[in-house]
């Protein structure tokens, strides 16, 4: 899997492998949670740094 993120003013989350994506973004602390068909990805940051935790539940190639 390959995930790219851009953190400028607000956190933008881009997934190159997501076909169906649903998520919720909380701006109080810059936390986001997206669930895709490949699994669940959680990210948190303060605007300058971002940590991403990947929890796939499907087969990864």
**Model confidence over 15-29: pLDDT tens digits?**
444 444 455 544 444
Number of domains in the chain: 1
Mean pLDDT, rounded, of the chain: 49
pLDDT at 55: 57
Answer yes or no: pTM beyond 0.75: no
**Cα(37)–Cα(10) distance, integer angstroms:** 25
Q: Tell the residue number behind the tokens 């940051």, with chain if given.
A: 45
Determine contact, residues 13/5, Cβ cutoff 8 Å: yes
**Cα(35)–Cα(9) distance, integer angstroms:** 23
| Domain range for 45 | 3-56
Residue 61 lies in a domain: no
Determine contact, residues 21/15, Cβ cutoff 8 Å: yes
In Å, what is the CA distance from 42 to each residue of 18, 35, 56, 58?
A: 14, 8, 11, 16
């Amino acid at each position: 899997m390959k995930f790219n993120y851009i953190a400028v003013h607000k956190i933008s989350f881009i997934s190159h492998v997501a076909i169906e994506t649903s998520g919720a973004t909380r701006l109080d602390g810059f936390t986001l949670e997206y669930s895709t068909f490949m699994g669940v990805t959680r990210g948190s940051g303060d605007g300058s740094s971002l940590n991403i935790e990947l929890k796939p539940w499907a087969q990864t190639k």
